[in-house]
Structure 1
């Protein structure tokens, strides 16, 4: 079930001004014919196609058995030319320009029935479909041996050139795929729906004592610390983290707020009333996990619903730094503002991330896992957080807030 590929030759070629568009925009380009032709009646049109396809294949005792799903999203036809054409041999190619506006929503005319989700992951009735915004171009898949799963959303333009020859109609076609970015007319995201959480921790080290902050511990010091000798002080604290549950494609940085709050009542008396120790982030890993759910048909006698899914991890990225070797100070105190570690790292989404969406046969959602490792008084500790469902929204095409 391959995606549609570009196809052009001397009989017909099609080009667009750019590769990527947004629903509501107009695709402009040219259609060209080089091959010689003299005909008094030629028709040329261009069709914008959009479709969502899914496939699952597994191996059993009877061989590989494919199951497929295919749903039309749109089919917009535009007449480009009708009339005589003369292209002598060795002459300049004939060229026609076109402009096709991309709809913003799925074409509900493809679904006149009322199936209430029986044959799809969403209800299929005219009212529901007419409110369904076009998803962006999408491709995800999983393969292991004979087991294959994949789903994609694709858009492409097809030029069709027809003319008569010896009483019959001859047709030449050309195809060019385009990338569609999901539409979002809202301003850039400012509310990331931060999720707060905290972890109670404790470190034990002689470096908590005044004047020992940067001391090299002797072998005896290490033995005392290992066995929890009372002379080695404890520092109790909680790590507070506010992590986003909403992400946006192309956002400059992902916020991640961290601070350390002392719990003096559970800390050793020797350090109570003293300045809190320094804390810094020394390592970070953030992972967005995709969950892709597909619907396919099985069997030749009508529709037999068949569903499958797979997961894949996508590491968050940072500009110009090794996430395993960091030194980012975070506040440690009773009444301190949290530091935006995400901004300090220029933390961002990788290019492999697609916006969350649901269409007839594909559902994509995301979850977040991250690990933050901190150094406090020379001792390493860490926190891990799992957010089962987060949302990824498309890049904004609206003005910034306040404009």
Structure 2
């Protein structure tokens, strides 16, 4: 992008016949116009437009002082599209000083459906995530727009898949050559995931957790503990029953954005038996588990690769980000708390997806047709793996629960592949 050209929109600007948030697909046609408001008189002028597409990454390594004031920087850039200029005007220009109507040239520019044929030229096969094989899907579809940057005062790595529309007005003026430029970012959709799909659930579980309390005994559930009983509990006495458990979450391995089917997310709790596990006295006692709320975070990871200083060496970097879907806010509207009971086989479950009608849309998570967050969620770029970057996701579930009067938070991590809307 050329900053000095953006500042002079009267000299040249690009207007697109689409909303600002419009996302194109590979193979679409961009329809718009190039506009000039400033006066001009020239015996000969040419106006050309072209589209660029790049994948660029940067990896920053700390130096010996572990600060980024002393660092090594590795950059890798791949050009996705073959340079091709389209002539949309050639001839004399005359636009008077006080003209109320700007000069305008309409155009329609096709977007290629796949990367250029010689995309691997000048690149090294060991410094890419994609084999040098034209049959690989990466060679047959343009990747969608993506931006990722590690957080912090001095970002350690960054990655972007970007497309830009360019225009150049080249003209004679008083015997000298002049040029004005305009640049406009174009957002490209990722490859659609096909028709709407029914999500299939996949299991994930927490690390073993425990609760130590006399209230785990049925007869002690509602009784006041004596001073001695409280002391035994505090000292982790063997006289105090222990309940070992793990939370199990059925979570979709694939989520399609804007899919109307509720996400199949189910909670259950398994009693853990065996040595140093649940006390024998309560092995057959189903424990009441109150689900206070569930927080869902989407953790995105972008891995990038760049060639090193030697013929076979590479450098990799990763940037992570987290998006809070604010699902816990939906629990404030429940008339009564969610409750399930433990068992060795975790037979009982709570179907959160159907209960709340959970749907992931482009601007956030929805429950019963309403967005959980009061403001739009930061856009989640779909999963993708292209030449020098991989973008993946996982769900992090934080389940706040109460057992026998003891409240704790349990975390469960489940990989998920987010795909573009159909």
Which of 37, 40, 44 is the aligned partner of 2:40?
A: 37
The match for 1:86 is: 94
Q: TM-score, normalised to structure 1's length? A: 0.77
Which of 21, 24, 30 is the aligned partner of 2:23?
A: 21
- 320-329 or 40-49, larger mean C-alpha shift: 320-329
Which of 370, 379, 388 is the aligned partner of 2:406?
A: 379
1:219 and 1:322 map into 2 onto residues whose CA distance is: 39
- 247-256 or 79-88, larger mean C-alpha shift: 247-256
Taking structure 1 as reference, are residues 219 and 249 closer, same or farther at Cα in structure 2, changes over 3 Å only?
farther
**Does the 8 Å CA contact 2:39/2:97 hold for their aligned counterparts?**
yes
- 366-375 or 64-73, larger mean C-alpha shift: 366-375
Partner of 2:194: helix, strand, or coil? coil
**Shift, 1:213, TM fit:** 4.1
Which of 192, 201, 211 is the aligned partner of 1:184?
A: 192
Taking structure 1 as reference, are residues 115 and 96 closer, same or farther at Cα in structure 2, changes over 3 Å only?
closer
1:170 paired with 2:170, answer no
2:126 and 2:165 map into 1 onto residues whose CA distance is: 31
1:46 paired with 2:49, answer yes
**Shift, 1:264, TM fit:** 9.9
Taking structure 1 as reference, are residues 212 and 115 closer, same or farther at Cα in structure 2, changes over 3 Å only?
same
The match for 1:71 is: 78
1:322 and 1:225 map into 2 onto residues whose CA distance is: 35
The match for 1:222 is: 230
Taking structure 1 as reference, are residues 77 and 23 closer, same or farther at Cα in structure 2, changes over 3 Å only?
farther
1:55 paired with 2:55, answer no
Partner of 1:188: helix, strand, or coil? coil
Taking structure 1 as reference, are residues 96 and 23 closer, same or farther at Cα in structure 2, changes over 3 Å only?
same
**Shift, 1:157, TM fit:** 0.8
2:4 and 2:144 map into 1 onto residues whose CA distance is: 16
Taking structure 1 as reference, are residues 5 and 226 closer, same or farther at Cα in structure 2, changes over 3 Å only?
farther
The match for 2:420 is: 395
1:82 and 1:360 map into 2 onto residues whose CA distance is: 38
**Does the 8 Å CA contact 2:193/2:419 hold for their aligned counterparts?**
no
Superposed CA offset, 1:22-72 (max 9, x none) = 323332222111222344543322212111111234464896543321111
**Shift, 1:380, TM fit:** 3.4
1:78 and 1:330 map into 2 onto residues whose CA distance is: 65
Partner of 2:150: helix, strand, or coil? strand
2:413 and 2:328 map into 1 onto residues whose CA distance is: 26
- 378-387 or 326-335, larger mean C-alpha shift: 326-335
Taking structure 1 as reference, are residues 67 and 333 closer, same or farther at Cα in structure 2, changes over 3 Å only?
closer
Taking structure 1 as reference, are residues 39 and 67 closer, same or farther at Cα in structure 2, changes over 3 Å only?
same
The match for 1:401 is: none
**Does the 8 Å CA contact 1:259/1:331 hold for their aligned counterparts?**
yes
Partner of 1:183: helix, strand, or coil? coil
**Does the 8 Å CA contact 2:60/2:73 hold for their aligned counterparts?**
yes
Partner of 2:420: helix, strand, or coil? coil
1:251 and 1:22 map into 2 onto residues whose CA distance is: 19
The match for 2:269 is: 260
Which segments of 5 or more consecutive residues in structure 1 lack a partner in the other structure? 398-403
Partner of 2:230: helix, strand, or coil? helix
Which of 101, 105, 111 is the aligned partner of 1:102?
A: 111
The match for 1:341 is: 352
**Does the 8 Å CA contact 1:357/1:364 hold for their aligned counterparts?**
yes
**Does the 8 Å CA contact 2:216/2:243 hold for their aligned counterparts?**
yes
**Shift, 1:5, TM fit:** 8.9
* 1:244-323 superposed matches below 5 A: 244-250=252-258, 254-261=263-270, 276-297=286-307, 306-319=314-327, 321=329
- Paired positions, count: 390
